[in-house]
Every structure is written in structure tokens, then in C-alpha cells.
Amino acid sequence: MNIKENDVEKMLGKRKYKPDVILPQDEVGIINGLAWTAVGGEIMQMEVSVMDGTGKIELTGSLGDVMKESARTAVSFVRANAEKFGINPSFYKDKDIHIHATEAAVPKDGPSAGVTMVTALVSALTDRKIKRDVAMTGEVTLRGRVTAIGGLREKAMAAYRGGVNTVYIPKENVPDLDDIDPIVLQNVKFVPVTNAAQIIDCVLEKVATDKKTETVYYSEVKRGSNRVSN
């Protein structure tokens, strides 16, 4: 029997599981994180919303203690470098911040979403959109250092399946690229970083200084034949 693509649904029924995919357009405060699970990697989008308030931090999405600590560390790093990122240094006094991880019914823990939270925070506080086709993983310290994570092979496959073009990873994890499927390395660019600040201008839109035109420019990450960049 010759089975065609259109015959699959008739034989097996309606699709029960939807694959993780990137957003249809760039958004402010929404970013693709990468998570490891017992059944493989998946894209976990992180959302940050900023509103007028009194400095409260709300963390939702079934986050474990370690992940909550990562969120607070990310806020402290952004606060310490607010002027560098073009953020009002008093945001911690007159703004409330809500950090949410999607698929709230699924418990989540671990420190590897640190860079994701930092980037989403800067995006939300500066109202700059994040490129929809990038993802990242890495633990962040109070000084912004990006340290090693686990499960890179599974996370990389999730990024590839979801349509991600560029993944930022800790430089310490570069040796783990040897374990990644060749098809993933051919289609996804991996950019090693040592500090979270290295990611910001690469993935967030840039507003032109010429206020007459108010044109928005995007910083570009060059794509080369070698899928690893320093």
C-alpha cells in the first residue's frame, strides 16, 4: 500500500500533540528558552511583563526554588547594570515585574534559564522586541557570568524542531557540540558566550539615534558555513 501524507490523519486520527514552535513575529518580553525533560528537550517560552507598581516581583509557571533564585539573580544583575542597558535605574522602586514560564501545569526547576530571564527583562524594561528565531540556555551569576548547563544535545534538537536559527550557549559547553546531531549543526548556529551582556544587542532590536526618521534597526548575527561562532 502506498501511504501519502494526506492519508496519515485518516488512519491515525487527529493530531494529539502540537510541536513546540517559535512565535510568528518578534515580541517584547517574550523569548525562547530551552528545557531538558525526561523525554527530550523542548522550547520553553519565558514571558516578562512590567507595570507601574512598587517594586514587587511575581514568579509564576510552577517554578522550583532554584529557578526562582535564578529569576531574582537575573533581576539583580539587570538592576546593577541598568544604565548600561538604557534602563531607568529606579525601576526596582516604581515598577512591578511579572516573570512567567509557559506550560504552567508542568513543574520546572534548574538554573539554566538565567540568560533567558535576563534578556526578557531587558526587553520588557526597554520596550525592545526580541528576535523570534533565537533561543538560549545558560546559568547566570550576579555579575552576569554565563556558566555551564546540562542536556545541550536534547535542547539543541528542540531548537531545531521548533524553527530556531541561532542558539546562545555557555562557552563552557562548546565541547558538548560534538554530541549534537549533524543535521542540527547544519541548520542551527551556536554562539558561545561568557557574559549575559554579550547577548543583549545581538537579539534585541536597536532604535536609530535619528529621531526624525525613527527607523528601527536590527543587529544581525552573521551566518557562516561553520555553525559555531566565538
177 vs 5, 116, 173, CA distance in Å?
33, 20, 7
Helix (H, G, I), strand (E, B) or coil at 225: coil
193 vs 29, 37, 204, 229, CA distance in Å?
21, 24, 16, 9
Helix (H, G, I), strand (E, B) or coil at 97: strand
Cα separation, 145 vs 66, in Å, equals 17
**CA angle centred on 125, ends 159 and 94, rounded to 5°:** 140
Provide the angle, in degrees to the nearest 10, between the axes of the packed helices 114-126 and 65-80.
Answer: 50
Q: Report the catalytic residues.
A: 112, 155
Q: Compute the Cα dihedral for 62, 67, 68, 71 and give only its sign.
A: negative
Q: Do 97 and 58 contact (CB within 8 A), yes or no?
A: yes
**Is beta strand 40-52 parallel, antiparallel or unpaired with respect to 95-101?**
antiparallel
Query: Which residue has cell 531548537?
Result: 159
